[in-house]
Structure 1
Amino acid sequence: MKEVIAVVRINMMNQTKQALSDAGVDAYFAREAQGRGKGFANPKVLEGVDNGYEEAAAVLGEKGKLYPKRVLTVVVEDDKVDDVVQAIIAPNKTGKPGDGKIFILPVADSVRVRTGESGEAAIV
């Protein structure tokens, strides 16, 4: 089993949910988050802010702010990971900074609380 964690634009959630549903994935978690990528600010300006220079903070302005995002967490069988990743990429890829990130992690086990099923039986 794998856990697929995706950070996407908040305004792309409906399209992302539809793409996941079309890929046969209806079970996932979604939560609100705020964040930013590394490419939005000049590192020298950030260094100035860290050193307490007010001018650097003024130059940084809006570029240092956190942006609203959605974080999706999907746990699927190993053979469905590529389908999930492609389903997330399709509606979110604009070619511009901020399109998001996808992380894939191994899952050791899972247990369905209601029935006590474990392993892949708990996620299908």
Structure 2
Amino acid sequence: MKEILAIIRPNKMTKTKEVLETLGSPAMTAIRVMGRGKQKAILNEVSMATKEPELLKAEGNMRYIPKRMISVVVPDEDTSLIVEAIMKINHTGQIGDGKIFVCPITDAFRVRTKENGDAAIF
């Protein structure tokens, strides 16, 4: 099993969720997160009220940008397919398209039934 962690733009969340469900991976965890890449900000990426409007005036000044982080656990053989799908949906060619991390999962447990391994997930 692998865990795929993807940090994406909030406006890509619905399409990402729909495609993952179509590919047979409907289970996911999604979290609203704040962060930034090495560029430190993206001009016009954020459209929200702030008490410090000067933070939105110039590229590189905003401390954090709203993003979504999704976590999907998939069988090893589906990892490439899911990663490629997430990349295709979220690619704009612009700074801020996101990051994807693939992590090994050594075991999983379903609390309700005490099943473990693949039976706890799939």
TM-score bracket for this pair, using the shorter chain length: 0.7 to 0.9
Matched, 1:72 2:70: yes
TM-score when normalising by structure 1: 0.80
Structure 2 unpaired stretches of 5+:
42-54
Structure 1 unpaired stretches of 5+:
42-57
Distance 1:111 1:40 in 2: 38
> Residues 39 and 60 of structure 2 are in contact (CA less than 8 Å); yes or no, is this contact kept in structure 1?
no
Question: Can you list the C-alpha shifts for 1:31-90, whole angstroms capped at 9, x where unaligned?
Answer: 00011111347xxxxxxxxxxxxxxxx9x9552321100000011111111111112112
TM-score when normalising by structure 2: 0.81
> Which amino acid is 1:2 matched to?
K
User: 1:121, CA displacement in angstroms?
Assistant: 1.1
Aligned residue number for residue 15 of structure 1: 15
Distance 2:23 2:2 in 1: 16
Distance 1:78 1:17 in 2: 20
Relative to total residues, which structure has the larger helix share, 1 or 2?
1
> Which amino acid is 2:61 matched to?
G
Deviates more, 1:79-88 or 1:94-103: 79-88
- C-alpha root-mean-square deviation of aligned residues, in Å? 1.8
Within 5 Å, give how 1:14-93 maps onto structure 2.
14-40=14-40, 61=58, 63-65=60-62, 66-93=64-91
Aligned residue number for residue 46 of structure 1: none
Rg larger in 1 or in 2?
1
> Which amino acid is 1:64 matched to?
N
Identity of paired residues, percent? 46
